[in-house]
Amino acid sequence: MAVWITRTAEGVELRQDLAGAGSRSLAAAIDLGILVVALWVAIFALALLGQLDATGSTKFLMGLVVGGWLLLIVGYFVVFEIFWGGQTPGKRALRLQVRSLDGGPVQVLQSILRGAFVLLDLLLLLPLPLGIVLVAATPLSQRLGDLAAGTMVVRLPRRIGGELREPWPGERWSGLASRSLPLVPALASRFSRADLAYLRHLLARGEPALLSDLDPQARRRLYVEAARDFGARIGVERFEDARVLLRELYLFLREMNPGSDRAVQRTRKSGR
């Protein structure tokens, strides 16, 4: 399995398994199957309504559905990736997710660019499935849309409940009883989406300590290295407990990133 490694400023590597041609093709087949079923259900329903419609408006709707099915395909992928955190039903079923090459979540413009190339991939299925060939041949397993948008598709790790554990899902930085770091909203601009993704990945693996899949010494080393780098960016050169620093900073960055905060809220509400 191919692996994409993002090296953070503190020299720690964030490893993400890239989805291969087989799993991506199966996810696409699931999505296209959903689209075909939805299209036929819509046509059948409109045909039945047309028998009772004397105004002719149902025929107009039928024309829109039949004539705009290509746009519906593009819209399906774009809308799901934007509102489902880089996933479509097919990708979610196979634990795949679209991400930016910096390791952060996929952005709206990137999803639109990826969607624009879906039709080209479908048109080129015959005589040559170019999308599948590119995923199998490119180093980062990218199709045309990924190359244009600067994205990749990764395989999510198996965690409790099938999802990566969210560190401290019920807590907010603004609700902390005490704070030790000199944090103000303007400081959030010093950290990138990749920094937030790295912190979440590290803390999800390390918290709580009893459930951590990291060796205790490796956990301590990674925490100290991350705390030194991230602390220096906010003017904190010395600290007594790396975990305390990382916890407060992560809660702060998560709260300053509305998209990340909404994802946490959805996780809590769904019980996962």
pLDDT, the chain, mean: 80
Which residues form the domain of 135?
3-156
The last residue of a domain, from among 131, 156, 181:
156
Q: What is the mean pLDDT of residues 46-74?
A: 70
Encode pLDDT of 212-222 as tens digits.
766 778 788 88
Q: What is the mean pLDDT of residues 158-175?
A: 72
Contact 229, 191 (CB under 8 A): no
The confidence score (pLDDT) of residue 211 equals: 67
pLDDT of residue 161 exceeding 60, the answer is no
**pLDDT confidence bin for 80, thresholds 50/70/90:** very high
Which tokens sit at 166? 């969210």
Cut 0.75: pTM above it: no
- Token pair 């990291």 is found at 214
Task: Residue 263: count other Cβ atoms within 10 Å of its Cβ.
Answer: 16
The confidence score (pLDDT) of residue 209 equals: 77
Contacts for 240-247 with beta carbons within 8 Å, 24 or more apart?
Answer: 244/180, 245/180, 245/181, 246/199, 246/202, 246/203, 247/167, 247/168, 247/203
The confidence score (pLDDT) of residue 247 equals: 94
Same domain, 204 and 173: yes
Task: Residue 190: count other Cβ atoms within 10 Å of its Cβ.
Answer: 11
Q: What is the mean pLDDT of residues 31-58?
A: 77
Same domain, 61 and 176: no
The strand order across the sheet containing 3-7 reads 3-7, 13-18, 151-155, 96-100
Same domain, 189 and 260: yes
Same domain, 151 and 199: no
Same domain, 82 and 138: yes
Same domain, 200 and 248: yes
Same domain, 184 and 258: yes
249 Cβ contact list (under 8 Å, min separation 6) = 181, 183, 199, 230, 231, 234
The last residue of a domain, from among 156, 174, 206:
156
Q: Kindly state the DSSP code that residue 142 receives in the 8-state scheme.
A: -
From CA 46, how far away is CA 269, in angstroms rounded?
36
Q: Tell me which amino acid residue 107 is.
A: Q
Contact 209, 247 (CB under 8 A): no
The last residue of a domain, from among 137, 156, 175:
156
Sign of CA dihedral 74, 79, 85, 87: negative
From CA 50, how far away is CA 60, in angstroms rounded?
10
Same domain, 175 and 249: yes
Same domain, 83 and 110: yes
Number of structural domains (the chain) is 2
237 Cβ contact list (under 8 Å, min separation 6) = 231
Same domain, 13 and 73: yes
Same domain, 117 and 17: yes
Same domain, 224 and 197: yes
